[in-house]
Structure 1
Amino acid sequence: MQIVYHLGAHCTDEDRLVRALMKNRGTLAAAGISVPSPRRYRQLLPRIAKSLAGGPAAPDTQSVILDAVMEADEAERLIFSYDGLLCFPVNVVSERGFYATAPKRTAAYANLFPEARSEFFLALRNPATLIPDLIRRTKDGTYDALMSDTHPLSLRWSHVIRRMLAHVPEIDLTVWCNEDTPLIWPEVLRAVAGLGPEEALEGDFDLLAAIMTEDGLAKLKAYLDGHPPETVEERRRITTEFLAAHARPEELEVEIELPGWTIATVGDVTAAYEADCAEIAEMPGVTFIAP
């Protein structure tokens, strides 16, 4: 059995991926792929993972999970998607670091079904735009409550990924940049589902529908129907051109107003993020989906 964990990260997905996959439940079920509703496991998986204390789940514990989430009697691939699997938004930044819980939590999820092949998927996001959204999702809702004395340049995704790789050496980890998701969304969907690029799925335009005008999206679909791209690269190029012409500015522009931050701070954090992504893309054991 293959067990898939889409870990978020926070403020990158808002359940779009699992909703898109659930549109295809019939097609996926026929291929042995199960996509249970997140409400079945959002509290269950973190609770059981924490209870393992570093050890593997017993067969009866595995049965409890499967009984709670499975609708069919069996499946070859089981997909979980929830950005709270690693931690709550308030714990993303702590005195122990950025996503400090990620290594142990990832190891714990791999131990839920120790005999199965576990795959992990994670979208990264520029901390300069992530922090404002995290503030909006935390109870106190202030910069100081989230960041405390943490310097923004210390929020390094490369450190998070490196710790995950060290904690789970055999991890099967796929990563991409949230900023690239509109261009690589079909590939992300199929990677999580475990399907090839030729497989037809509903939901290929779900993300573009959120950031493009209705007229622009209709024109893009019509163009792709009349000029089917021969390669993934060609589809991305076409999408980029239509997105540039028909994007909703309010969906792409992000205002960053954080205490003590200047334009230079935003530039420094963004440059560090871009360097991190380039480093992560070269890490052994990481599959990096890039446009």
Structure 2
Amino acid sequence: MQIAYHLGAHGTDEDRLVRALLKNRGTLAAQGIAVPSPRAYRQLLPRVAKTLRGAPAGPDTRQVILDALGEDGPFERLVFSHDSLLSFPVNAIGPDGLYPTAPARIAAYANLFPGAGAEFFLALKNPATLVPALLDRAAEASYDMIMSGSSPASLRWAPVIRRVLAQVPGIALTIWCAEDLPLLWPEVLRAIAGVSEGEALEGDYDLTGTLITEEGLAALKAFFETHPPRGIAQRRQATATFLEKYARPEELDVEITLPGWTEALVAAMTAAYDEDCAEIAAMPGVSFLAP
């Protein structure tokens, strides 16, 4: 059996990926792929992972998880997807930076089903926009609580991934940038589901449809109907063209107003994020998806 964990991060797809997968439950179930509702495990999995403290889960623990999912077996692949599997928003930043619990949490998930193959999927997000997203998701928390003593400039992704790779040797880890997801959406959807790129699934336009006008979406669908893309590169190029022509500015423009944050700081954080993404893409053991 294979277990796929889509870990977020926060604010990277607004649960659209799991909703698209749920649209295809019947199609995927026929292939032995189970996509349970996140309601069944979004609190259970982190709680179990924390109590295990890195030890493999026993048969009783595994059965508790399977019973909570309410899925009729047998199945060959089980898909979990929720942006708080790594941490809740209020704990996403610690004194040492982003997602301090990520290595231990991922190691625990890898041990939930001993003997099963575990695959992990993670979208990165520019820390300059991640912090506002965390604040939106933790209404009870102040800016200082979210930052946990870290400075904005210290929020880097490369150290997080290095720690994960060190703690979970041989991990199957697929990473992409949330900013690139509109061009990668069909590939990411199928990678998490564990089906081939040519598999017909519902939801291929779920993200694009939120970023472009209704006129643009209709034009894009019509274009692909009359000009089926010959490969991934051609589909990405066509999608990029329609996004540029029909984009909804309010969906693409992000206004950042946080205490002490200047345009220069945001620019520096963005440049550091770009550096981290390039470093992560070159890390052995990481499968990095990029347009």
TM-score scaled by structure 2? 0.98
List, as ranges, runs of 4+ consecutive aligned residues in structure 1 with deviation greater than 6 Å.
none
| Alpha-carbon distance in 2 for matches of 1:136, 1:203 | 26
What residue number does 1:284 align with? 284
What residue number does 1:69 align with? 69
| Alpha-carbon distance in 1 for matches of 2:75, 2:187 | 22
Q: Is the 8 A contact 2:36 2:70 kept in 1?
A: yes
What is the CA-CA distance between 1:57 and the residue it aligns to?
0.4
Q: Is the 8 A contact 2:90 2:141 kept in 1?
A: no
What residue number does 2:153 align with? 153
What residue number does 1:163 align with? 163
What residue number does 1:48 align with? 48
Q: Which runs of 5+ in 1 are unaligned?
A: none
C-alpha change, 1:148 and 1:50, in structure 2 (3 Å) is: closer
Task: Specify the code of the residue in structure 2 equivalent to 1:108.
Answer: A
Q: Is the 8 A contact 1:34 1:70 kept in 2?
A: no
Q: Is the 8 A contact 2:4 2:78 kept in 1?
A: yes
Residue correspondence of structure 1 range 123-134 to structure 2 within 5 A: 123-134=123-134
What residue number does 2:24 align with? 24
What residue number does 1:105 align with? 105
C-alpha change, 1:63 and 1:141, in structure 2 (3 Å) is: closer
| Alpha-carbon distance in 2 for matches of 1:73, 1:237 | 40
Two-structure CA RMSD over aligned residues (Å) = 1.1
| Alpha-carbon distance in 1 for matches of 2:197, 2:252 | 27
- The question of 1:87 aligning with 2:87 is answered yes
| Alpha-carbon distance in 1 for matches of 2:190, 2:156 | 28
Please list the CA deviations of residues 170-196 of structure 1 after superposition, one character each: whole Å capped at 9, or x if unmatched.
Answer: 211000000000010000000001111
| Alpha-carbon distance in 2 for matches of 1:239, 1:212 | 10
What residue number does 1:262 align with? 262
What is the CA-CA distance between 1:142 and the residue it aligns to?
3.1
Task: Specify the code of the residue in structure 1 equivalent to 2:207.
Answer: L
TM-score scaled by structure 1? 0.98
Tell me the SS of whatever aligns to 1:206.
coil
Q: Which runs of 5+ in 2 are unaligned?
A: none
What residue number does 1:2 align with? 2
How many residues are paired up? 291
| Alpha-carbon distance in 1 for matches of 2:119, 2:63 | 20
Q: Is the 8 A contact 2:110 2:118 kept in 1?
A: yes
What is the CA-CA distance between 1:90 and the residue it aligns to?
0.8
Q: Is the 8 A contact 1:38 1:82 kept in 2?
A: yes
Once the two structures are overlaid, the 10-residue window that deviates more, 68-77 or 5-14, is 68-77
| Alpha-carbon distance in 1 for matches of 2:82, 2:10 | 9
| Alpha-carbon distance in 2 for matches of 1:146, 1:40 | 27
